[in-house]
Structure 1
Amino acid sequence: MNKFIFTIFIFLNIGTATVFAQEKTTAVLVAKDTLKSNDIDPLTPAKAAFYSAILPGLGQAYNKKYWKIPLVYGALGTSIYFYIDNNRQYIQLRDAYKRRLEGYTDDKFAFLSDSRLITAQRGYQRNRDLSALLTVALYALNIIDANVDAALLQFNVDENISIRPTIYPNDVTFKTNVGLTLNYNF
């Protein structure tokens, strides 16, 4: 009976030692994998683009590129200003032309003929539409900038990767040769 209990005791100790060893090895491999995957977050560019879509400049703040925020607001503010100004001028010219069609000539554009009034109205309408298109394009550019910048922040610029131009003499003619060396250190 003692031999049977001793054999079971030995078998259980060897079995648990093997199980513990396997768990330890697996835990070490998992720990190494998770350390590498924590360096790169694939959702960071999407988050930056989402933040910039909600509020222009917020994606740049998320990327810690605070100097770009005034540029974003300056560009968007300027294009919105020109949209509002051109729209105001267009409405004034349109209303003046409508009053002329009704027979009134006491508007502030009395010095313009009807054809000049229509031409000016079309010019301000075109400029207003271009300003609206520019505003939308700058808004999209804000989102794209935040997305690309967040993606490039995760780009590997390690010192183990380097390209160095070298100048070395030719062994036969002893003239200088120019070459490019790509070094990667493991």
Structure 2
Amino acid sequence: MNKIFYIVLLLFLFGNQSVFSQKIGDALKAKDTLKLREIDPLRPTKAAFYSAILPGLGQAYNKKYWKIPIVYGAIGSSLYFYIDNNKKYHKVRNAYKRRLLGFNDDQYQYLDDNRLVQAQRFYQRNRDLSLMISVGLYILNIVDANVDAHLIQFNVNDKLSFQPEVYPNEINYKPNLGLTLNYKF
């Protein structure tokens, strides 16, 4: 019984919210100056193209400016790790090559030849993984701009409503929980 009380209370609080918003919406209808926007079918393509040219440009085209630092932070950090691992890989590789030539004056004197080979594989694997992550984040940037441009044009207005409802069962009169989705033309 306690559980049903909380469900009814929750539905009452959130279910009546549409009634209040509908009353406010009716009061403001006379002042509504918004017109339906025309749908531009090329907008998602433009946003994806701009993001492909310069990461973050598609987000700026969609006027989602807060996403631009996230795009540059993600791609920039993965490129940083790519460059860092590439430098370390080449340092260890050059040290190993010098060891094969008979020189022991490198900065890795505490490592034997086998450990230098393992270090090369480690940095090479991390470098390749960082490059794949960079490419993945670049593609994700393009997909985000495209999807965001699609969703900007999605029609959300007062004609759509979603309202939870509690009604009694006709056989045993226990409360049932239901959801109603209405669309008015």
TM-score w.r.t. the length of structure 2 is 0.78
Match of 1:118 in 2: 117
Match of 2:155 in 1: 156
Local SS of the residue matching 2:177: strand
Match of 1:178 in 2: 177
Shift of 1:160: 0.7
Shift of 1:169: 2.2
- d(CA) in 2 for partners of 1:174, 1:139: 57
Shift of 1:156: 1.4
Deviating above 4 A after TM superposition, structure 1's stretches of 4 or more consecutive aligned residues are none
Match of 2:108 in 1: 109
Quick check: which has more Rg, 1 or 2?
1
Shift of 1:58: 0.4
- d(CA) in 2 for partners of 1:136, 1:150: 22
- d(CA) in 2 for partners of 1:90, 1:146: 35
- d(CA) in 2 for partners of 1:66, 1:139: 17
**Number of equivalences:** 151
> What does 1:36-55 align with in structure 2 at a 5 Å threshold?
39-55=38-54
Match of 1:79 in 2: 78
> What does 1:51-66 align with in structure 2 at a 5 Å threshold?
51-66=50-65
Shift of 1:171: 4.0
- d(CA) in 1 for partners of 2:95, 2:106: 6
Shift of 1:157: 1.5
Coordinate RMSD, CA, aligned: 1.4
Structure with the larger RCO, 1 or 2 (CA within 8 Å, 6+ apart): 2
Local SS of the residue matching 1:39: coil
Shift of 1:161: 1.3
Amino acid at match of 1:42: P
Amino acid at match of 1:163: F
Instruction: For residues 79-129 of structure 1, give each alpha carbon's deviation from its aligned partner in whole angstroms, at most 9, with x where no partner exists.
Output: 000000000000000000010011000100010000000000110011001
Consecutive unaligned residues in structure 2, runs of 5 or more: 1-34
Shift of 1:172: 4.4
**Equivalent pairs: percent with the same residue?**
66
Match of 2:129 in 1: 130
